[in-house]
Structure 1
């Protein structure tokens, strides 16, 4: 198995030393460098081209979140696992496409699992290239999502509806509910052939519509596999009825 080249970024020498010791017992990793701040880390990334960056968030100068955003904009960015003492940055951290979010003191087994996730996500680069080509014409088959377990890849085929909720979108799928850090407009633009808008705050999967049901003076769309029945707006109701007549 090819080893992951790891860069450790933390302003605390003891924290860097602890991570270095833990990585030494994970066969799939080799530490190629360390940095005490984001400026030095960026230079190390450019010089060493690591596969994985273990990144603290609060450091002198620019934060780890700012560095992660810069890294995610690169053509071939390294994977990022945040290692921090603060739990309040989880959502903005995953918005940078981080693979993991670990709280200090870092547990070896949790670190091992996060590293394994990096390997699964980055393993065959050729497959990723093939997926990217497919996405250009058909849209993604999986969407990156945030949960208490960290970042996950949610299969689009399992999603039955997408509901706007404050700043986020909640995907209702066969295994429950998951927060997506993408707008409903962006999702509709990409998946417009598979999801139809029934309300300004709701998209439903066309292939899994069962029918309409009355709810007082309103209508709701019933979907196969999930209890959620999104409300249909009065403006959208005629087109939704026509669609259901066509497919049901």
Structure 2
């Protein structure tokens, strides 16, 4: 998750940056000291999440958040302020969080976790999107010891190849398929995207792209503990795709 910190106090920015450094999956990509600077930084850096101070000289955080909400796609905004009388205005600007200074580590972590959750309305909208309306089967047949299971494609998050088999990871578990990854990629183009020579992921179920300390990228999928790795050659195309949806 790419994070932009906006606060007119350098010490406050430094403190928040230190707190974020201990939270996995967060990368501070920039800072700004005013609302005007925040708009320029957001355009240039395309952050996923903006921590926004409310009271700042010139354009305040509330006004800046209104402008950020017009971006396509807009970043998530969490307000950070020493004053508790801006909550109504903050959420009217479509902010997803409101933290009172001095910020506590546990409250910061909880706020970030909320940004990663997808709600039922969002999932319903994704399932009605063109990604779920493309050509191809609605179910895939998977052999087991008792016979054959039918797995709904809409429930599958990940196809992963291992030697001669492909495993489909879905909401109820996993299933072994006789089909090749290439065959699945061709059939479900537009619904699944290749992120590695051995993996396809469901586009509507992607929640984010994470990077570890070694610079490796992994995809975070809705309701899935597995984090499939993204190969270097697929990072840029995947980022471009995520910016478009």
Normalising by structure 1, report the TM-score. 0.49
Highest CA radius of gyration, 1 or 2?
Answer: 1
Normalising by structure 2, report the TM-score. 0.50
Higher relative contact order (CA 8 A, sep 6+): 2
